[in-house]
Every structure is written in structure tokens, then in C-alpha cells.
Amino acid sequence: MKMRINYSEATSILIILQTLWWGLNSQCEEPIESSKLDLSVTYDLPHFVSDTPVQKLLEFNGTVYVGAVNKLYALSKDLKKIHEYNTGPVHEGHDCSAPDPCSGCKNKPLNKNNTNMALLMETFYDLELFSCGSVGNGVCHRYLLEDGPLDAEISCMYSKKNKDSSYGCPDCLAGPSGTQILNVMSSGVVRFFVANSEVLDSTVPRLHHTISVRKMRETQDGFEFFSKQSYMDLAPGLRGNYPLHYVYSFQSGPYIYFLTVQREGGSSNAFHTRIVRMCSSDPEILRYVEMPFECIYSERRRKKRSAQVVFNVLQAAHVAKVGYDFQQEMGLKEGEDVLFAAFARSKPDSPEPTASSAVCLISITDINNFFRDFMQKGYTRKLSHFPGSEDKNFNQVRAFNQIMHFLQSVLARVAIWFIRDTGYRLEVTSTNPRRDYFHGRFRNVLLTSIAVVPIQNHTVVSLGTAEGRVIQVVVSRFGKTEPHVDFRLDALPVSSEMALLSPQRHDGSLLLVTGNKTSDRCTRAPRCSPSHWIQDTCPLLITTISPSSAPLGGHTNMTICGKNFGFNKKDRFDTKLIDVVVAGLILINKHWLMLSNPVITDIFPEFGPKSGGTVLTITGSFLDSGNMQLVTMGNATCALQRFVCLQIY
């Protein structure tokens, strides 16, 4: 990479980066010296320490909401506490004659901590925050935020009218093993899509549906299902002994998605990751399909074929827009969503991860294309772990595919209406593996967190590890995947829970969680004091400066080659050294640059014939200053034959 600098006279040194544009004429050679990060650097980053472990994080309009054990916090964007509200502990147990899910047993000793299982914002009806805990069978509390702090108006989302519902407990949203909840507004109704990880204990009472969609009651004091088709549960024989973990959820376009880690099949002991897709407009689970999601890396071995390593268990994921460079590399349209996923290799026949990771990515457009192609080709079957997925749904899809293959007229449109009207619940039997984007760089690391932020033309990926480290990588269409940042954030693992603070602004930040600490990091340089700017761990490396000297009064174009200038080697920065010391030498990153005007001490011979042709020898100092030398005699320009550099001691 290179940058050109124009010099002018002044009294001190100050470099200002001005205009970024494309189109470099000359090229720099790749620097031989490598720029190694100082992995021992630590930072005193802005942070907030909760009294108890943090589980959930949410940002809205510059306010950070933190869900922790027995606590709910509202923080300013610089992580100063605005308000806190106690959500526990409570008393729960068999000694409660008439337990109240909203407050537990009154006048009893407090014996149960309340873990925050879900935290979500709803703005269609009111500006309201929902916090769903592990106590009270997973009921949620609704905080109306328009009138003041968190405790200005609180409602417990439990209606006694739902107690004897034939659909189970509509108000019991959050399951004890983990919950993913998405609230989506469609057709004037906010639909709450809820997915609960499976409790590995067959003796636990079943109050929570595995996956469901519900709405808020008109009285806003609880929830209700649209019908008995609005939920699905694992087959009775699998309840309590079928590991099923919902890792991540998101909405993109007309669909909502859940990412799971589960067994490859009902009788298999091997584990893999799946993408679950549902229609956000469905009041019932009408159009439901699952597809395997696999991340692979081809490991090269001596004298043998490369071995394919499968990273099968998802640890963290993030859906984001990407920068222009990466958008061009992937052939994406502007504004398309891309799924970034951090995988690990699991122990044999176990979902437990090992310290070996890979990062794979896929556009949401490609995900939907795979779903469409596999379903049209019939690479599907009825769900093996959810009952109620009848053969007729599977056969309807096959019939639809056959009709679509042979008919391209009115009958085809009738078939489309037919399959959409009757719905489907399927799992795809094939997969299209994605390759590790970082080519095995993290095969000895357990990644636990991933966040992606587009910055100008670039795409910045921030990765957290089980050892409490944060690694930041800029990826672009030039394939640059070397970390720019690698430092220890904490001794505890970095949580997969993260939030972007004002991501649409140039001074936005990334919020990460370790244990009970929220750290505000990865912001822009103008917002940081020098000790907080994380790019300090990525030292500037200058390999050559050409020319090495320049006249004071000229406008010499300088080419500086090296690494870690903060932009790609194809970029060009026009930068002016506004203030320059008027004497001797300037030291730029251990490279001396001389600023001196040429001084002529002798010209030989002094006379020659009018016809010309005389070879002149010009002696002096700094005659090679600048990147262009010109000698004129009257109106004629002399041809320079050679330079001879003599050192006089």
C-alpha cells in the first residue's frame, strides 16, 4: 500500500488524512518485515459491572438495557447507570398453596433467583420492554417506557383466564433451558415467535411449547395462541432426552429464522446445526422447514490428500449488512443481509464444543435459494422429531414439484395456491456446506462470540473467545483476513450476547459481555482517549520512502510503502504535511527524510561552442532532491545522463 504526500514550509509536524480515492499509478512491493500484534496489551475500556451475571443485552434509541440475574438495568450510551429494577429473588416451591406466577409465594423466604431468559422491545402498540425470567414458569413483565424509568408502569403478563386453556400455558414463554423470542408486526398484529431449548429431564412438567407463535391479548395482560396449529412440541418419546438448543434468531424479509444445534436424527448420536425457517405472516405454523447448516475446512497434509474437517456445532451468529468491498466479492445487492456464523468441532456424539473453530457465512438470498431448490427436487421428508407432520404434507410438496416441472400455465399457479394454502412442515435431507472463510486460522481457538459492522467500504468482524480475548478482522474483496486487533478483554469467556450501540452513526460502538461485565469497545478513534484506541495494537510499519529527500519550496510527491496504514493497498490518500521543521532531517517511524534545497557549487566547463553538444558536470549538494530533476540552459532543456553520489569525509 502507499500514500502520496505533498510538502510545504511551516514549523512543526502534523499529518492530516484528507481525501480517499482510487487509482494508483505506481506500486509498492509487499513488505518483508511482518507486523506482529502485541498480544500482551491490555486496556481500561469503558464498562459497567452488574451486581449479578448478565444474560441479555438490548439497545434502543441510545439506551442500553441489561438483563441480569435478579436485576434489570437501564444504562446511558456511555454505560452510566440510569435506573435499576429488582426482578428477584422470589419464593417458589411445593409449599405454595396457590402460587402466583407474577410474584411467587408471599410472606415466604426468598429461595429462587430470577435469570433473565429474554429481553425484547415492542413499539407498535406502545414503547414497551418485555423481560421474561426463569421464575413464575417463564412469564414476562411489561415495562411501559414512555412515561419515565423502568418502574414507572409495570404489568405482569399473566392472565388467570388462561389458567385452564386447552392449549397449555399461553403466558409461559421462557423455558428453563434457554429461549429465543422474535416479535414481528404483520397485518396489524404483533406476533411473538418463541423457541425453547429442550430440558434434558423427562420428569420435569411440560409447561412450555418447543416452538410457537402467539399474540398479546387485547387487554395487554397476557398472551394467547391463534389456534392449536400455533405450536409444535417434540415427540413424546423424545421429550427430556433429545438435546435441542436454539442458539440464534433473526428476521429477514418475509421470513423469521432460528438456528439450532441438535441430533442429526432421532436415532443418531451425532450432532449438527440446522437453519429453521418460518413465514412471519403466518398466525399458525403453516410453512415450516429445516435445513442442515455445515461449516467445513480442508486441512492439507503431507503426502496425503487434504482431509475435510467438519465444524458442526454453532456457537454464535450475527446477521448484518456488509461493506461495499465485501458486497462486491459476494455478488450481493446493496442492503442484502448476510449470516456470519462461528462454529466449533464438538466432542464425539456430544454437543459440547472443543477448542477448534471456524467462521462460515452465507447470504440470506442463498439460504432461501437452497430451501427452494431442495424442496423442488424433493430432497425433503416429514419432520422426524415433531409429531403432526403428516405424510400428506410431504406428498403435497412432491405433487407440487411434479406439476411445476411439467406445467407452466394456469395449473401451475393453482398448484402454488394449493401448497401455500395447505402448508408444509418438512426437513431438508441434503446440505450445501460452506467453507471456513478464515482458512483454518481459528482451528486451535474456541470462538464464543461474533459481531459484524460495516465501516465505510469495509466489513469488520469482531470475534470473542473462550479465553476472554477479542479479535478484530477487516475482510474485503482483496481477501485481507489478518487480525488488526487481538487483546484480552477479561479472564472469563466472551458471551455470545452482544449489541450495537448507534450502528448507523460513524461513532457507534460494539457492546460485549463477559460474566457480569458489559464492556463498551470497538468505537472510532475520535471518540477515544489515546489509551483506549484499540488500533494501537496494530503498529504502523513503513518499509520505504521515495524519494528520500525533497526541496523545501517544491511540491514533491512522496511514495510511502508499508503496512497498517488503516486502508487497503489499492486505496489512495492525498495527505498534506501542513507543518514541517525547517532544518535538517525528519524522522518518520525510524525512517529519515531530508528536506533540503539543491545547492550548486561548481559547473565544468564554464565555456563551450555555440553549436552545443558539450557535456557539463554539475557539482553540488542535494541535487537528487525530489522525484524529478530538471536542468535548463536558456530555453533549452538538458538531457540528464547520470548521477554520481560522492561521500566526503
What are the grid coordinates assigned to 104, written together? 411467587
Task: Give the pLDDT band of residue 164 (cuts 50, 70, 90).
Answer: low
Nearest by Cα to 24 from 44, 4, 47: 4
CA distance 268 to 276: 19
Lowest-confidence pick of 129-143, 148-162, 351-365, 590-604: 590-604
Specify the residue for cell string 526541496: 551
| Mean local confidence (pLDDT), 402-416 | 50
CA distance 283 to 218: 16
Give residue-wise pLDDT tens across range 564-601.
555 555 555 544 443 333 334 455 544 556 677 788 88
Q: What pLDDT is attached to residue 47?
A: 84
Residues 55 and 133: beta-carbon distance below 8 Å: no
* Mean pLDDT of the region 450-463: 87
Question: How buried is residue 596: exposed, middle or buried, by Cβ count under 10 Å (0-12/13-18/19+)?
Answer: middle
CB proximity list for 641: less than 8 A, separation 6 or greater: 615
Per the rule left: phi > 0, alpha: psi between -120 and 50, beta: everything else, 269 is alpha
Where along the chain do its domains lie? 11-30+534-587, 243-379+429-522, 599-638
Q: What is the pLDDT of residue 404?
A: 52
Model confidence over 476-535: pLDDT tens digits?
766 566 777 888 888 889 999 998 876 665 556 788 888 777 785 444 444 444 333 334
Nearest 5°: CA angle at 28, between 24 and 31? 145
Q: pLDDT confidence of 58, banded at 50, 70, 90?
A: very high
Check if CATH label 3.40.50.1980 holds for domain 243-379+429-522: no
pLDDT per residue over 318-361, tens digit each?
999 988 888 888 888 888 999 999 999 999 999 999 999 999 99
